Chain A
Amino acid sequence: MNQKIEVASPELASIEVENLSRSTFIMKGALAAGAAYGALAVGPLVRNAFAQAENGDLEILNFALTLEYLEAAFYAEGGKQVKGVPSDVAELVKTFGAEEQEHVDALTATIKDLGGKPVKAPGVDFGDAFASADSFLATAIVFEDLGVSAYNGAAPAIKSKDLLATAGGIVQIEARHAASIRYAAGESPAPDAFEPSATTDEVLKAVEPFLA
């Protein structure tokens, strides 16, 4: 029942993300970026997200914050740069971007409330993702699906029931984003009966190509 995104080896070139077509533009972009960066371990910025944490919940919150920063930046930059997005989809992108920013703000405030130090926004490089409406939506699907898998993978480790409820309230929105963008792109909005989950390592490797 609990499916996993499989990462066969540390090399980015061998990332296997379940239910994502490797032929999509974004996967090609990710592989190219992986080749350019080399098969790196987790980037220093993201590693800091863990080094700063005092306890497990703070680690998870900073991990989530990093992902939300990436998503928010992706929609903000994409919304400005991408041409040819149909107006109804552009409207969705605007809404979803604003919601990701709200997640950033909420997670930042929560981390501070708990006495932790929120990670800074990571530097981003979205490669050729903004070259066309199709590549933009394909990359958005990767981010949103990954975000859902990341929260679902991390949630059972959350100690605080309040934080678990908060994370649940966010992951539901990520899932709604994922389904909507998929539907807009002509892909199945819900490709599985049971959402795959991903470990933090798997998620960090998948986002590595987008960190500058």
Chain B
Amino acid sequence: MSATRNPESSALQRIARDPHSRRKFLALTGGTGVSAALLAACGDDDEETTPTTTEEQPMDETGGDPLADFGEGDLGIVNYALTLEYLEAGFYAAVIKSGLFKGDQLALLKVIGDHEAQHVDALTATAKDLGGTPAPEPKANFPLDSAEEVVALAATVENLGAAAYLGQAAAIQSPDVLAAALSIHTVEARHAAVLNTLAGEPPTPDGAFAVPADAETVLAEVQPFLA
């Protein structure tokens, strides 16, 4: 379908590498309707004139979807989540190696890192189950200067991860994929709560109702860590 889309290269890596891609990618948020849809289409010829509006896909909301780079529909969401989980797993692996932590905190970080690695495995399998190519592991660098900064960053990452899953829940079509995403979402939330506590932040910083984050926001947040 999309001749220009290369499933072997990570959407995130392209964004990190290419300032134009990044700018375009940011433009997608503000862009609505035609211009965003044209950018997203990126040269492929699916500008069908057939009026194929469906209830599931309101055109004005999905036209500028940055998830398009990750795949279509649920596969795009799964590969987006997989990319975030790769970043998290890579982060904790680096943190554990850093020698900045010991004792109870190290043990906790190992448990959390192990969860993220399991999420990577599960989402990889899910992407394959959906008939897609799992997103590749992005190259990333994380600042590991002090334990305090690492804990603060871990808290940020987990809060973002939880918000990212919440931001996609309503867009997921398959009940199985939804159940899987929900079962990961609340684990990210648990990580976020305990890391917030370690970082001296409240465990429920948004109050009684968690605030979702859209893919645009999330990808912009993780962009500085991409190598």
Interface residues of A (CB under 8 A from B): 1-3, 92, 95-96, 98-100, 102-103, 106, 148, 152, 155-156, 161-162, 164-166, 168-180, 183, 188-190, 192-197
Contacts and interface: CB of A to CB of B under 8 A. Distances in A.
A173 B162 CA distance: 10
Interface in B160-213: 162, 166, 169-170, 175-176, 178-180, 182-187, 189-194, 197, 202-204, 206-212
A175 B212 CA distance: 15
Contact of B119 (A99, A171, A193): A193
A102 B122 contact: no
Contacts, number: 145
B114 interface: yes
Nearest to A170: B209
A193 B209 contact: no
A164 B209 contact: no
B112 A164 contact: no
Interface of B: 108, 111-112, 114-115, 118-119, 122, 162, 166, 169-170, 175-176, 178-180, 182-187, 189-194, 197, 202-204, 206-212
B179 A173 contact: no
A161 B210 CA distance: 16
A189 B179 contact: no
In this complex, the member of B108, B189, B206 whose beta carbon has the largest number of chain A beta carbons within 10 angstroms is B189
Contacts of A188: 111
Contacts of A176: 189-190, 192-193, 203-204, 210
Nearest to A183: B194
Contacts of A2: 176, 179-180, 183
Contacts of B204: 95-96, 99, 173, 176-177
Contacts of B178: 155-156
B190 A194 contact: no
Given A1-B122, A169-B166, A156 B182 contact: yes
